[in-house]
Chains A and B, each alone.
Chain A
């Protein structure tokens, strides 16, 4: 043993024994392989199919039409979201002067009426004179008139009925809105709307921002998530579909969403993110923080870990 090596000096006075690291790794790999193959074979993994706009419009047409109407009237969650989708004053979360959502700005601009409703209907209107006329009537009307039709129709949808795959409401002053929505429902039920919302001008599509935001504005998708205990106030980050464990390592992140004052704040997300950044920094800096780094000495778990070492003392 040469004392020029810092490790040799560090271990001076300590009895050294033969140890085979590579053999240990190979044995661990064999053991982990047996456990992993066993668990995977016995427990499999959950795989509930994704919800499409087509399944949403088929299973819950009233919710679909209500959501599409709110996109057209600019009252949906996405329309009122603020950055990065829409320019709504004071919609961004902030903690005092810290407002990263507002600083980042509207990087993915979305006009919910155009992007979710009027543009897809424009494609469907080719060769469809009834729909073309309804779109022309709607576009020619004043914004006040449009909002009156949409408000009346939204109110009537609360008592809507479904028959022959169509959503029907009591007679009223809705202008062309029922025609527009009947065509939206038809497009959605065929699956065409799923494709139309992915149009990006190129062949390959990977960005699902529009269809996911549209589905998130309805009640169908969040209700399914709540059934599976996946929503934020149900510790949903840690759950998988079925009874499988999900991202259990996010337990602390998820915890803050369950307790006051965090769970009632309008800026919960930002507060929790700042808190977790501070806590992670504290964790990384444990070796330098006096009280935190002394706790292992006060609670002597180390005597259990190295009990052979202390037995001889």
Chain B
């Protein structure tokens, strides 16, 4: 991108300017929302990412409705029960994440791990026999790991709070970071013969 403004004297010490330049270079808006992609992106495998995001939108949306009506509501109302079912099947669609780059992959694994805890606390928050038994059964694992004192699965208030606040914020934040990483790097090139699994950008620079 051509520079038009004269460089200020203290440019080398301006952290804000350096951060902006880094973002402009690594994440220009045309890469964040690109209108052109390599032709091989037409493959079915790329559908999983966008379907997972659509599933997450459903999970968060239905979760907000459940949270407003309180944890007992869905047991007493057929509409509530329907929304809980949407929540369950929305969760189901969070299954597929597909990445190519190291940091992006690792953030994806962390999202997977946090999603498991988010779903687990959700199962406990059901307030039915299933949630009751999962809590009784799971305490042995959390106690054996030594985390039972601050992650007490038998404490409904604690599990519910984690499920509706901390864990969703973590999942959504990490997914946002994941998408930014994907857009920053672009989709990975197909594997070439005798090429390492991580193609180096510089090798391909023209």
Contact = CB atoms under 8 A, between A and B. Distances in A.
B42 A308 contact: yes
Q: How would you classify the secondary structure of chain B's contact residues: helix, strand, loop or mixed?
A: helix
A47 interface: yes
B140 A269 contact: yes
Contacts of B14: none
Interface stretch (B4-12, B78-86, B167-175): B78-86
Given A43-B89, A83-B143, 9 more contacts: A9-B206, A10-B204, A40-B89, A100-B147, A108-B152, A296-B191, A296-B197, A306-B40, A308-B40
Contacts of A285: 106
Contacts of B140: 269
A17 B39 contact: yes
Contacts of B149: 84, 104-105, 107-108
Interface residues of B, number: 93
A224 B43 CA distance: 47
Interface string A75-106: 00000010110000000110000001101110
A33 B155 CA distance: 34
B145 A273 contact: yes
A208 B125 CA distance: 12
Contact of A230 (B58, B130, B199): B130
A19 B34 contact: yes
Interface of B: 1, 25-26, 28, 31, 33-45, 47, 50-51, 53-55, 57-58, 74-75, 81-82, 84-86, 88-90, 92-93, 95, 101-102, 105-106, 109-110, 112-113, 115-116, 119-120, 123, 126-137, 139-141, 143-149, 152, 154-158, 160, 185-186, 189-191, 197-199, 201, 204-206
Contact of B156 (A39, A105, A208, A273): A208
Q: How would you classify the secondary structure of chain A's contact residues: helix, strand, loop or mixed?
A: helix
A47 B160 CA distance: 18
Please provide the 7 A-B residue pairs with the shortest distance between their CB atoms, ordered closest to farther.
A206-B157, A100-B146, A107-B149, A40-B85, A269-B144, A287-B102, A19-B37
B147 A18 contact: no
Interface residues of A, number: 101
Interface string A234-269: 001100110001110110000000000000000101
A107 B148 contact: yes
A203 interface: no
A152 to B, nearest CB: 30
Interface of A: 2-7, 9-22, 24-25, 28-29, 31-33, 35-37, 39-41, 43-51, 81, 83-84, 92-93, 100-101, 103-105, 107-108, 206-209, 212-213, 215-216, 221, 224-225, 228, 230-232, 236-237, 240-241, 245-247, 249-250, 267, 269-270, 272-273, 280, 283-288, 293-294, 296-297, 302, 305-310
A218 B191 CA distance: 58
Nearest to B38: A14
A116 B106 CA distance: 46
Given A36-B93, A306-B40, A45 B197 contact: no
A221 B136 contact: yes
Contact of B54 (A28, A44, A293): A28
A22 B155 contact: no
B39 to A, nearest CB: 5
Contacts of A225: 133, 137
B205 A19 contact: no
A19 to B, nearest CB: 4
B84 A45 contact: yes
Contact of B197 (A10, A28, A294, A306): A294
A21 B146 CA distance: 45
Contacts of B152: 108, 207, 209
Contacts of B28: 5
B197 A293 contact: yes
Nearest to A22: B33
23 contacts: A6-B26, A9-B204, A10-B185, A10-B189, A12-B205, A17-B39, A18-B35, A32-B93, A44-B85, A45-B84, A50-B129, A84-B148, A103-B146, A207-B156, A212-B132, A213-B154, A225-B133, A249-B95, A249-B112, A249-B116, A283-B109, A284-B109, A310-B190
